Amino acid sequence: MSTTTPLPAYASYQHLVVSSPGPFVAHVEINRPRKLNAFSQEVWLEFGRVFNQLSDDPDVRAVVLSGAGDRAFTAGLDVQAAAGDGILGESEGDVAKKAKALRSHIEEFQDSIGAMEKCDKPVICVFHGISIGLAIDIACCADIRICASNTRFAVKEVDIGLAADIGTLARLPKLVGSTSWVKEVCLTARDFSAQEALSVGFVSQVHEGKEAAVHAGVALATTLADKSPVAVQGTKELLNYGRDNSVAESLRYTRVWNAAAVQGKDFSQALMSGLKKTKPRFEKL
């Protein structure tokens, strides 16, 4: 269990601990270490809520996410809890009725995890130990992925008889540079290491052990929190927009976006500080 002091505004979460390791930086820990940080429905609903709150919090400019405890970032879906839900498992009632319930259930789950991608502030995910199944769906919603050298990754869903449906299959091929590799790990459900994750571009940094990785994640977040929030949040938004749009459409959206953004004080301050070689100070956004 995490021993960090939670931020007061985030004290009500049951399965997540949110602390602040530095100015304008929030650190979210998934806090069910005895369950290998597995996700029941309660956990993923909290996950969605915390990122919605962080998105609107003017005191937060960058977020780090990791798992509590030494063993796992997360072992993914809490399969026992899921097996207990009436909703999963072989059909007994009317197929069409059950299909409707399933669509709605999956959508709620997708939206909860996707809240991290939609969060206005950049999110750095720090993987360590067991990071399988849902861990990959979550990873695909992060902005920057770094990991400890002991991380054990796997796209595990095929082994529970399921095509992954919380985002891995939609996002992973757009994140890394080899679809042959993507299909190999998605179809076989085999483990892959920190080093393999680095070499295909899934993570951009590997550190020796969890502590060093979390430390690096916090340091990176601190760097981001020091920059102009208008520039940082605009950069996240435009990169995310670009993934799903043609270049021509992205350029058009960019023009409209920056037509307001560069009228803000951050741009003139940063520009002038650059010319004068001083350090700019940015107000809350």
Sketch the per residue contact string, 1 through 40, with a second copy: x for CB under 8 A, - otherwise.
Answer: ----------------------------------------
Q: Check residue 45 for interaction with a second copy (CB under 8 A).
A: no
Half-sphere exposure of 7 (CA within 13 A, CB side): 21
Stretch that binds a second copy, among 11-19, 27-35, 42-50, 271-279 (CB under 8 A): 271-279
What is the nearest approach in angstroms of a second copy to the Cβ of residue 84? 11
Asked if 150 contacts 180 with a C-beta cutoff of 8 angstroms, the reply is no
On the 0-12 / 13-18 / 19+ scale of CB atoms within 10 A, 127 is buried
What is the nearest approach in angstroms of a second copy to the Cβ of residue 138? 13
Interface with a second copy (CB under 8 A), residue from 12, 178, 195, 278: 178
**Nearer to a second copy among residue 1 and residue 162 (C-beta):** 162
Tokens coding 187: 């179809």
| Amino acid present at 167 | G
Stretch that binds a second copy, among 9-17, 22-30, 46-54, 141-149 (CB under 8 A): 141-149
Cα–Cα distance for residue pair 109/44, rounded to 1 Å: 7
Asked if 123 contacts 154 with a C-beta cutoff of 8 angstroms, the reply is no
Sketch the per residue contact string, 142 through 171, with a second copy: x for CB under 8 A, - otherwise.
Answer: xxxxx----------xxxxxxxxx-x-xxx
| DSSP-assigned beta bridge partners for residue 129 | 72
Site for a second copy in 235-264 (CB under 8 A): 235-239, 242-251, 253-264
Q: Which residue has the tokens 């459409």?
A: 249
Half-sphere exposure of 236 (CA within 13 A, CB side): 23
Site for a second copy in 196-225 (CB under 8 A): 200-205, 220, 223-224
What is the nearest approach in angstroms of a second copy to the Cβ of residue 68? 23
Q: Check residue 67 for interaction with a second copy (CB under 8 A).
A: no
Site for a second copy in 93-122 (CB under 8 A): 94-100, 102-104, 106-107, 110, 114, 120, 122
Cα–Cα distance for residue pair 151/53, rounded to 1 Å: 29
**Nearer to a second copy among residue 17 and residue 61 (C-beta):** 61
Q: Check residue 181 for interaction with a second copy (CB under 8 A).
A: yes
Long-range contacts of range 165-169, CB-CB < 8 Å, 24 or more positions apart?
165/106, 165/109, 165/110, 166/106, 166/109, 166/110, 166/113, 166/134, 166/137, 167/110, 167/113, 167/114, 167/137, 167/140, 167/141, 168/136, 168/137, 168/140
What is the nearest approach in angstroms of a second copy to the Cβ of residue 5? 27
Q: Check residue 52 for interaction with a second copy (CB under 8 A).
A: no
